[in-house]
Structure 1
Amino acid sequence: MSKNASTAIHLSATVFPILFAISVVHLLNDTMQSTVTALFPILRDSLHLSYTQVGLIAFAMNITASLIQPVVGYYADMRPKPYILPIGVCFTLVGIVTLALAQQYALILIAVVAMGVGSAIFHPESSRVAYMSAGGRRGLAQSIFQVGGNIGSSLGPIMTAVVFVKIGQFGVIWFSFAAIAAILIQTYVARWYSRHIITPQTSPKHNVSEGSSKLGLSSRQVVWALMILVFLVFTKHIYMSSISSYYTFYLIDGFGVTVRDAQWFLFAFLAASAAGTFLGGPLADRFGRRNIIWFSILGTAPFSILLPHMNLIWSGVMCVLAGFVLSSAFSIIVVFAQELLPGRVGLISGMFFGLAFGIGGLGSAVLGWIADATSIAFIMNLCAYLPLLGILAVFLPKDDRVNTTA
């Protein structure tokens, strides 16, 4: 046995304690990340930032995670590193402390870059752990893992309404305790991971053509399917970015609501997104990956298109429904892509999580620039039609042609 090889241990039963552990860490990680967007209204007023500068804060954090995650995933496929899991959270801890103390815009950018590095290390390896511990229920496992992150993200608006409006930016320092808790849990997960490293059924040099022969798909079909999945992630996360970064400003400027009240609307959207994420995996295990992906993204369109034309209450209702339906897709997209390229779990996880972060950050920056040139209302109308592009999911291969046992 070579230095980098490990005994293949194929887990037939779903290991729920590990799934719940990484889901809790995902919750803590994304709660800490959500402090960044939660601070946007506070930072805009205290530092007199433009929408473009607000968008660049999200861009700095997300583009860092986007560029690093595929690299982490690629090397983890060849040489799994269980104990990188708690190390990743250490970067997030540094970012949290710096963000709480930063009084200059440049320091805020440095803080969020550190948090981006932490997320870049966390997501691909934790997604691999979810894949390892799934048994035969990969959709459910990926949903359990990701719903923790969605719940964590949904806590950002509550933190603004309850904490930051009263305490201000320094209140972020309390989330250092969340980072410490995450480090301890990740150490426990790393120990389990080190005992159950699964050697991929294909070598790290697995390529598209090798995978396609086992799937009954040509290499061109696999590449085409991956391109469609990437494009669907693009449409989903640009729309999510428009809501998570600018919906509160839309409510404040358009309806005259307070910062505190606007955050509760955003919380409702993000909480609905968490519920959608949790249900998406089990539904896909039962009704098929392709069907749920198609329904999720295209099915969001009626709600997203109606949202900018509604009054305050119905705008909130449309926002909640859009978040619920749209968020059921991402965990299934990741699983679908993993099954298209078996043996590349880390690379695929890193690529798609990195893509999601990159698109979210780039979307925030570009949409902020457009909002400065036009208006927040224009942004809501512009992004409303993105879910219509979900029609492309009809070109994905049917589930019975994808390797669901790899």
Structure 2
Amino acid sequence: MKLKSISNKIKGNPTMTEGTVYSILVICGISHFLNDMIQSIIPSIYPILKDKFDFSFAQIGIITLVFQMTSSILQPFTGLYADKHPRPYALSIGMCFTLTGLLVLAFAEYYWAILIAVSVVGFGSSVFHPTASRVTQLASGGKKSLAQSIFQVGGNGGSALGPLLAALIVLPYGQHSISWFAIAAMLAALIMVRLGAWYKAKLQYVVNHPLKTAGLNNNISKRAKYGALAILILLVFSKYFYTSCITSYFTFFLIDKFGVSVKASQLFLFVFLAAFAIGTVAGGMLGDKFGRKYVIWFSILGAAPFALAMPYVNLTWV
């Protein structure tokens, strides 16, 4: 849909600006699904890369470090830039980086080339997430929890599907078959053009119809806000620290301790990430019922005993 027709639709339909725009939320969820599915391919192929190039675990860890540096740690900086200089079509541009990184990774024959490839894929993700999150909030129509759930479930679903596709495609056909996922990247880039057009029209509407937010959160001190933000950052860091470790090394742990095949280990990784997606949905519902603060703390502290028990139990309990 062209920008002019989208602008006309916005002007003639208040639900496109003030109501919840479910069509855009669904597109955001699908885009997040495709983006995170591609991202999850990287840790899923670690056993394949280790076997082909005889990498050490330290080298695998460096690949993860480089990937996480560009895909996660870089996000606040790309988000800050996106806030100051909104670029509606940054979503498609970010996916083009991901597409490029995938193709380089598919044909990389040297360690340094693999590092460059995963960094480019990660950079594409860091460009995608801040802008996509903002579009999701703009399309929420005030239903921010619902909007975030749709967006997040899409991403977690994609993360869970990645290892399964790696087991079905990359394992039988080798490293070069990673290039087949370029089809998903191109599809995502095209879908994100639609998001970019809506986002651009929405920005124009917001400029001409500014919202009144006077008095919002005036009763909360800056110290309390920064304190809460610091706690959230610490909690999220701790959570993703161990989940990233499990995602990166879970397959190796299963292969080494229980002697499972590479394909079976990737299926187990799929189960872990699928549970991650299910937990997102459950957490949203439980948070609305019992309070978000309790669910946040339980989701982190409640997982600790299971993580600590994992090295000492049999395969079924793992």
Asked if Structure 1 and Structure 2 have the same fold, meaning a TM-score greater than 0.5 normalized by the shorter chain, the answer is yes
Once the two structures are TM-superposed, the CA of residue 56 in structure 1 deviates from its matched residue by 1.1
Is 1:281 matched up with 2:284? yes
Checking the alignment, whether the CA contact within 8 Å between 1:101 and 1:170 is kept in structure 2 is yes
For the residue of structure 2 that corresponds to 1:49, the secondary structure is coil
Is 1:172 matched up with 2:178? yes
For the residue of structure 2 that corresponds to 1:81, the secondary structure is coil
Deviations 1:260-304 (A, max 9, x none): 111111110100101111333344344432222122222223322
Amino acid at match of 1:193: Y
Write the mapping of 1:279-358 to structure 2, written as runs, cut at 5 A: 279-315=282-318
Amino acid at match of 1:297: I
Is 1:131 matched up with 2:137? yes
Amino acid at match of 2:180: W
- Aligned equivalents of 2:75 and 2:138: distance in 1? 19
Partner of 1:107: 113
Deviations 1:46-85 (A, max 9, x none): 1010111111112112202334322222122223211111
Once the two structures are TM-superposed, the CA of residue 222 in structure 1 deviates from its matched residue by 1.2
Partner of 1:191: 197
- Counterpart of 1:25 (choices 28, 31, 53) is 31
Describe the shift of the 1:236–1:314 C-alpha distance in structure 2 as closer, same or farther (beyond 3 A): same
- Aligned equivalents of 1:123 and 1:132: distance in 2? 14
- Aligned equivalents of 2:252 and 2:293: distance in 1? 35
Deviations 1:247-266 (A, max 9, x none): 11111111111111111111
**TM-score with structure 1 setting the length:** 0.70
Gaps of 5+ in 1: 1-6, 204-209, 316-406
Partner of 1:239: 242
Is 1:84 matched up with 2:100? no
User: Structure 1 residues 12-21 or 52-61, which shifts more?
Assistant: 12-21
Deviations 1:298-354 (A, max 9, x none): 222332233222110111xxxxxxxxxxxxxxxxxxxxxxxxxxxxxxxxxxxxxxx
- Aligned equivalents of 2:102 and 2:22: distance in 1? 30
Partner of 1:381: none
- Counterpart of 2:46 (choices 10, 18, 40) is 40
Describe the shift of the 1:157–1:66 C-alpha distance in structure 2 as closer, same or farther (beyond 3 A): closer
- Aligned equivalents of 2:295 and 2:73: distance in 1? 28
Partner of 2:146: 140
- Aligned equivalents of 2:78 and 2:134: distance in 1? 11
Is 1:264 matched up with 2:270? no
**TM-score with structure 2 setting the length:** 0.88
For the residue of structure 2 that corresponds to 1:314, the secondary structure is coil
For the residue of structure 2 that corresponds to 1:312, the secondary structure is coil
- Counterpart of 1:158 (choices 154, 164, 188) is 164
Once the two structures are TM-superposed, the CA of residue 184 in structure 1 deviates from its matched residue by 0.7
Gaps of 5+ in 2: 1-10
Amino acid at match of 1:190: G
How many residues end up aligned between the 2 structures? 302
Partner of 1:327: none
Partner of 1:50: 56
